[in-house]
Amino acid sequence: MSARPSVGWIGTGRMGYEMAARLAKGGADVLAWNRTRAKAEPLAQYGAKVADRLSELAGCDIVFCMVAAWRDVKQVMGELLEGKRQPRLVIECSSISLEGSAELRQLLAARGIDYLAAPVSGNAKVIKAGKLSFVCSGPRQSFDEALPLLKMIAPAASYVGEGELARIVKICHNVFLGVVIQSLAEITVLAQKAGVPRHAFLEFLNQSVMGSMFTRYKTPAFVNLDFKVTFTPELLRKDMDLGLDAGRRLEVPMPLASAARDLVQAMMGRGMKEEDFAALLLQQAQASGIALQPENVEVKDGLS
Ligand SMILES: NC(=O)c1ccc[n+]([C@@H]2O[C@H](COP(=O)([O-])OP(=O)(O)OC[C@H]3O[C@@H](n4cnc5c(N)ncnc54)[C@H](OP(=O)(O)O)[C@@H]3O)[C@@H](O)[C@H]2O)c1
């Protein structure tokens, strides 16, 4: 692999855009493609090129992919590999199932293409703040080759082993995310109904042993009720379903995850599809018989 490999980037949605932007800003030779071209175009300001057709990326040394679900990964990979040219290594970052990932590995191996499964933890703001983390699996050699690029995007990249192991790590992580956000909504509403302002309650929680980077960066949304999407309820439901499927297969009971999954489903059924998943707080307040108002208090998100 040359010192400055050419990098293809598929998918510049909320996550993919910020990840590709960090690569381009870091000096990588990036050629990006997105189904909706306009979302990729601003990457040109950081020196990235924008492709008209996905097949143009097949000539790159390394191709990253960050789309939505397995069906979308399958579709874009099919289009990428339509012609004769092919990359040397594919790094797939979307949150997908173990089975989908294994099918992709087979498809790529049949063409002699190396493959690293590399899902991530963190939202677009976390990427911008330089705090994203990768969890990777596949051949150790592919991880070592990819590492300089991964480090341009995120300070943390963990290698957890061969095959699709990174997928189950990411699925477990997002099951935890779903349970934690619902639990955070429940206790915040409980404290408020007892008379504690949300900003005061969360300020304490964030400094306690139970506070985390996650509870801190969700605090502005909970306090001031700004639910502009960082991660959609639909994508969270996908991940909770992947976790519950894995639990069924491996015979692991997951009562908390089941309940949290259905609360995300209920939120979607109420039409809250275009809001951030943290709007679970509003559903919880409604179920508790209180109407929340923005507190209009400036609170830190711990990222900037
Ligand atoms: N948001 C988060 O906080 C977060 C955190 C960690 C992991 N993830 C995971 O990261 C992935 C991307 O999430 P996101 O929040 O960036 O989602 P998003 O903003 O909805 O972006 C999805 C991207 O996938 C593309 N896409 C979807 N279906 C496609 C298809 N069939 N063919 C071609 N392109 C397709 C979209 O293209 P268009 O622009 O044309 O629609 C867009 O670029 C998901 O797997 C998600 O679970 C998200």
For residue range 79-134, what is the model confidence (pLDDT) as tens digits?
A: 999 999 999 999 999 999 999 999 999 999 999 999 999 999 999 999 999 999 99
**Closest ligand 1 atom to the C-alpha of 121?**
6
Question: DSSP 3-state assignment of 165?
Answer: helix
218: closest CA among 123, 133, 121, 120?
A: 123
**Other CB atoms within 10 Å distance of the CB of residue 292:** 18
The number of beta carbons lying within 10 Å of the beta carbon of residue 58 is: 18
Q: Tokens at residue 237, please?
A: 């439901």
Gap from CA of 275 to ligand 1 centroid (Å): 15
Which atom belonging to ligand 1 lies closest to the Cα atom of 67? 24
Backbone angles phi, psi at 213, to 5 degrees: -55, -40
Q: 209 C-alpha to center of ligand 1: Å?
A: 33
Atom of ligand 1 lying closest to residue 231 CA: 1
CA 102 to chain centre: 19
Residue 245 CA to residue 227 CA, distance in Å, equals 29
Going by pLDDT thresholds of 50, 70 and 90, the confidence category of residue 304 is: confident
241 C-alpha vs ligand 1 centroid, how far in Å? 17
Distance 289 CA to ligand 1 centre (A): 35
Closest CA to 24 of 37, 3, 9, 2: 9
Over residues 132-144, mean pLDDT: 98
pTM above 0.75, yes or no: yes
* Ligand 1 atom, smallest distance to 119 CA: 7
Q: Using the mean position of ligand 1's atoms as its centre, give its distance from the Cα of residue 292 in Å.
A: 30
Residues in the ligand 1 pocket, defined by CB under 6 Å:
11-16, 34-36, 39, 66-68, 72, 75-76, 94-95, 120, 123, 230-231, 235
Give the whole-angstrom CA distance, residue 131 versus residue 141: 25
Instruction: Name residue, tokens 């596949």.
Output: 138
pLDDT tens column, 34-49 = 999 999 999 999 999 9
